[in-house]
Structure 1
Amino acid sequence: MSDMDRNFLKKPINLYLSADHDCSYLPDRQANSLFVDPERELTAEIYSELIQQGFRRSGSYIYTPYCKKCQECTPVRLNVQNFLLSRSQKRCKNKNKLITIEEKSPLYDAEHYQMYADYVRSRHAGGGMDEPDDDKYLEFLTSKWSETAFFEMREEGQLLGVAVTDIVDDGLSAVYTFFNPADEYKSRSLGVFSVLWQVEEAQRRGLQWLYLGYWIKDCQKMSYKENYQPLEYYYNHSWHDAPLSLL
């Protein structure tokens, strides 16, 4: 156990280091996480400060990777005010130009849950997430203290996906996106479209950042975040324009 005493906090926050466990992203590696005391009373304001220090939330738990022999998990954020679309991203937007987005409260919705269950069974088979539980669904995606929205994507009334997004002081945080995993929608790149829309939503709100979680160079599921530029990388207690591996 250790104490983190930041000027922006009224009192220190206790941090706990997890036991060694198998890494979810890189084979044959052991991982550890540093997480905020689950007994600490949290607020959206506190989280807004912690996310600027490289932390993320999963449900009500706030954590950051803190592995003993590895620094591959790097927090990243996108400067939305300077973002420029690539050609492929422009094509993605055009393919999905008929999609409408509506903000919903972070409450249980049977239609949302069924799509979430279909998505995790399709995309995370054998990874520990492929047995969804409707009792734990909202525990994973929401918390009692965060300012969270479910952005519902529909086309001609049909639900295509949901982007779960936290609103923090200086930006938006892309928590999780799930969408229709059917083969007929693969060419639509709905995950890419979700990120592009969240960029635009941050711009509309006059915010600077879209927090994208952790970038891992050698993990395909996490390295795609480099496709969104200009990206900033958090290490050595500050944000940088390039990853540590290039220095």
Structure 2
Amino acid sequence: MTQHPTKTPQFFLTSPSVCPYLPDQQERKVFTHLVGDRAPELNDLLTQGGFRRSANIAYRPACETCRACVSVRILAEEFAPSKNQKRVLKRNSDLVGTLYPAEPSSEQYDLFRDYLLARHAHGGMAEMSVLDYAMMVEDSFVDTRVIEYRRRGPDSFLTGEGEGELVAVALTDEMSDGLSMVYSFYDPKQEDRSLGTYLILDHVRRAREAGKPHVYLGYWVKGSRKMAYKIRFQPQEHLMPAGWERYQPD
């Protein structure tokens, strides 16, 4: 893993670049390194303050003329699935999610590539190599896990693990007050499963069972179709200038 000085976090500002969510906008980010023994504590504080983690970097938007990116967290203890979300849970009741250490595999990378080519072929991650993927998964000083989702097998009740081909993967940080979904991907050919929705629902269940009140989803951008799905998981809180506030849907 990359090594950096750890006593006092230093923050840096990126140069402006094209915004991936809103047309005619420029984005900038403020970031710092998450390294050393204090990284888990710092990750908690920064995530609660609207930062996201990528490998050993914590970042948040710092755009000069736009405040459209809003940090979102689901209130797991109060969450009740909608009728459509209940149907998604039923469709995926044959899947088992198994928790593993944050270690990459060739099987994960193959699924990751299929997902990117189908869903984000022109995005910033499209050219990631197998080494880039490995760094994304394992370059972490915080409590990070990989959850692999496979179909339920005849021995799954005993082993707690699924069998067969890999259907979906979630890279997840465990925090003091919740779970943070760092990145997730799934088989793009299985659209009928609504796997993106299912992964969030499964994290809500895991957070509730662990007694953790929140599931952090990253940023919601009003007006961005890419981010519209996040608003469907109610109740949730948004990080506003005065702190976390309960969101009231229109």
- Judge same fold: TM > 0.5, yes or no: yes
Within a 5 Å distance, the mapping from 1:94-243 to structure 2 comes to 94-155=90-151, 156=153, 157=163, 158-182=165-189, 185-242=190-247
Find the aligned partners of 2:35 and 2:99 in 1 and give their Cα distance: 29
Unaligned runs of 5+ in 2: 1-5, 154-162
For residue 119 of structure 1, give the secondary structure of its aligned residue in structure 2.
helix
User: CA offset at residue 101 of structure 1?
Assistant: 1.1
Give the aligned residue type for 1:178. Answer: F
Give the letter for the 2:222 counterpart: K
Cα shift readout 1:91-120 (whole Å, capped 9, x = no counterpart): 000001010111111112111111011111
Structure 1 residues 103 and 40: CA distance shift in structure 2, 3 A: closer
Offset at residue 191 of structure 1 (A): 0.8
Give the RMSD, CA atoms, in angstroms: 2.0
Q: Name structure 1 gaps, 5 residues minimum.
A: 1-9
1:181 deviation in Å? Answer: 1.0
CA–CA separation in structure 2 for the residues paired with 1:221 and 1:119: 15
Partner of 1:7: none
Aligned pairs, number:
233
- 1:173 alignment partner, SS class: strand
| Larger mean Cα displacement after TM superposition, 74-83 or 46-55 | 46-55
Aligned AA for 2:53? R
SS of the counterpart of 2:149?
strand
Matched-pair contact (CA < 8 Å) for 2:102–2:145: yes
Moved over 3 A (4+): 10-13, 38-42
Q: What's the TM-score once normalised by structure 2's chain length?
A: 0.88
Contact 1:170/1:208 (<8 A) preserved: yes
**Structure 2 Cα separation of the partners of residues 12 and 110 of structure 1:** 36
For 2:34 and 2:94, locate their aligned partners in 1 and report how far apart those are by CA, in whole Å. 45
Asked if structure 2 preserves the Cα contact closer than 8 Å seen for 1:22 and 1:29, the reply is: yes
Length-normalised TM-score, structure 1: 0.89
Deviations 1:183-231 (A, max 9, x none): xx10100111100000000011110000000000111111211100111
CA distance in 2, matches of 1:82, 1:57: 26
Matched, 1:26 2:33: no
